[in-house]
Amino acid sequence: MAAAEPSLTQLLREARQGDRAASEQAYAHIYRWLHDAARAQLRRGAEHATLTPTALVHEAWLKLSSADFEINDRQHYLAMASAAMRHLVVDAARARKSEKRGGQLVRVTLPDDGVPASANEVDVLSLDAALGQLEALEPRLASVVQYRFFGGLTEVEIANVLGTTERTVRRDWRKARAFLHRALSEAA
């Protein structure tokens, strides 16, 4: 890594002061790191990969931040990392879906795919779409899902990032969850 490259902490600070370029750079940084780490983890685990977003996101922070961070930097980071995790999962699903296209004429099955192999990808994409609907309706509920489900943040962390109480986070989660489950069961 080039020595001149600014640290994530520095980028986040500049982003908070309104520097869009710094914000994008920080996001790209986080995304790339999470992407590589998730891949490595899945490759290692091969079959029983346990991709825990919490561990990934926190590990990334430890690796990327410098010691001089402020509490605001960290909260900013957690929000960005959650968004990055969501995009990462969705991008992977899209990639696989397009890879599959063209292969539709010929279906060759594996012994265990009584469940269509594509079920997971469809789910991720429809979850993303439903989350988009929720965003239009109640943006804060959508954020809670992004932080908790994709970012793996705890209720306390979410409450800190959003500047609300834990109780509110819990109630938001319950509403968001009902909304999404319903939207997804309708889609299916």
Partner 1 sequence: MSTGTDRTVQAHARGRRALALFDELADLAPADRAPVLDRLKTEDEALFAEVVALLSADESDGPLERPLSDWLTAPEPMPERLGPWRITGVAGRGGMGAVYFGERDDGQFSQRAALKRIRLGMDSPGLRLRFLRERQILAALNHPHIATLLDGGVGDDGAPYFAMERVEGQPLGRWCDERETTLAGRVGLMLQVCSAVQYAHQNLVVHRDLKPANVLVDAQGQVKLLDFGIAKLLDASASGGTTRERPHTPDYAAPEQVAGGPITTATDVYGLGATLHELLVGSPPRRAGEALWQAAQRATDDDARRRGFSSKVALERAVRGDLSAIVQRCLEAEPNARYPSAGAVAQDLEAFLQGRAVSARSPTRGYLAWKFVARHRLGVAVAAAVVLAVGGSAASALWQASLARRAAAEAQAQLDYLGSLLQVLSPSTAEARELDRSRLVTEATRRARAELADRPESLASVEFALAKVAQNVGDLPQALALADSAYERRVALVGRDAVASAEVQVLSAVLRARVSPPRFAEAEQLMEAALAVLRRRAPGSVTELEAVVQRAWLAGEQEKVAVEEATLAEALARCEGPLADTPICEEAWLVQGAVASRSHLPEVALKALLRAADAKSRRLGPDHASTLNVKSMVAWAQAEAGDLAGGLAVADEVYQAYQRIFTQPTETSLRAGLRLSRLAKRSGQHERALMLVDEYLVHARRVFGEHNQNTVLGLSDRASLLFGMGRFDEAASEFERVAAEYAAIDNRLNAALTRSYAADSLREAGQAARALPIGTEALATLRQSYPKGQHVNLARVLTNVARTESLVGHHPEALAHHAEAVAMHRALQPTSSYTAHARAFEGEALFAAGQRAEGERVLRAAVAELSASKTASPNMYWEPFAVLTTVACANGAADCDTLKAEAKAQLEAKLAAGTLSRLRAAVR
Contact footprint for partner 1 (CB under 8 A):
38-39, 42-43, 45-47, 49-53, 85, 89, 92-93, 95-96, 99-100, 102-103, 105-114, 117, 120, 123-124, 127, 136-138, 141, 145, 149-150, 152, 171, 174-175, 177-182, 184-185
Rounded CA-CA distance 188/180 in Å is 12
Q: Provide the minimum distance between the beta carbon of 61 and partner 1 in the complex, in angstroms, as a whole number.
A: 18
CB of 159 vs partner 1, minimal distance in Å: 17
- The distance of closest approach from Cβ of residue 13 to partner 1 in the complex, given in angstroms and rounded to an integer, is 29
Are residues 155 and 169 in contact, defined by beta-carbon separation less than 8 angstroms?
yes
The nearer residue to partner 1, 22 or 141, going by C-beta atoms, is: 141
For the record, the structure tokens of 75 come out as 């909260």
**Cβ proximity to partner 1, 16 vs 175, nearer residue:** 175
Smallest distance from partner 1 to CB 54, Å: 10
Cβ atoms within 10 Å, residue 59:
15
Q: 141 with 172: CB under 8 angstroms? A: yes
Query: Residue 102 — left, alpha, or beta (φ > 0 → left; ψ -120 to 50 → alpha)?
Result: left
